[in-house]
């Protein structure tokens, strides 16, 4: 399933979208920074379509997030100087 996580009309800081597997065990989150600011605030991207009862692991960062936290609080977006920097986060359901 595909989800647009940000509204390009109301959020001109970042663009974010997500692909979730049909069984909701994997997700790929894509984020692109659109503008750069001095002393930039931390933006959070809230996921959609995950199982709130499960935990999700990011192997690259060696972190585990709960599905409910990912959908209610979100993931902090990395602050990278410059415009149009992109990054991805691949999460899998932890056992």
Q: Please tell me which residue, 48 or 81, carries the higher pLDDT value.
A: 48
pLDDT at position 10 is 86
In the predicted structure, residue 74 carries a pLDDT above the cut 80: yes
The 10 Å Cβ neighbour count of residue 72 is 11
Is residue 31 within 8 Å of residue 16, measured between CB atoms?
Answer: yes
User: Whose CA is closest to 6, among 49, 50, 52, 44?
Assistant: 44
Q: What's this model's pTM, rounded to 2 decimal places? A: 0.87
**Percentage of the chain exceeding pLDDT 70:** 100
User: Residue 79 pLDDT > 90, yes or no?
Assistant: no
40 pLDDT higher than 80: no
- Mean pLDDT estimate for the chain: 91
> Residues 45-70, buried b or exposed e (16+ Cβ, 10 A)?
bbbebbbeebbbbbeeeeeebbbebb
| Token digits of residue 43 | 């933006």
Q: Give the confidence band of 19 by pLDDT, cuts at 50, 70, 90.
A: very high
Alpha-carbon gap, residue 79 to 36, rounded angstroms: 9
């Amino acid at each position: 399933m595909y989800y647009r996580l940000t509204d390009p009309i109301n959020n001109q800081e970042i663009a974010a979208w997500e692909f979730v597997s049909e069984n909701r065990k994997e997700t790929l989150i894509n984020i692109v920074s659109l503008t750069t600011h001095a002393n930039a605030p931390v933006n959070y991207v809230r996921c959609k379509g995950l199982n709130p009862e499960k935990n999700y692991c990011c192997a690259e960062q060696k972190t585990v997030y709960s599905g409910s936290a990912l959908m209610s609080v979100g993931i902090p977006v990395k602050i990278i100087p410059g415009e149009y920097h992109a990054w991805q986060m691949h999460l899998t359901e932890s056992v």
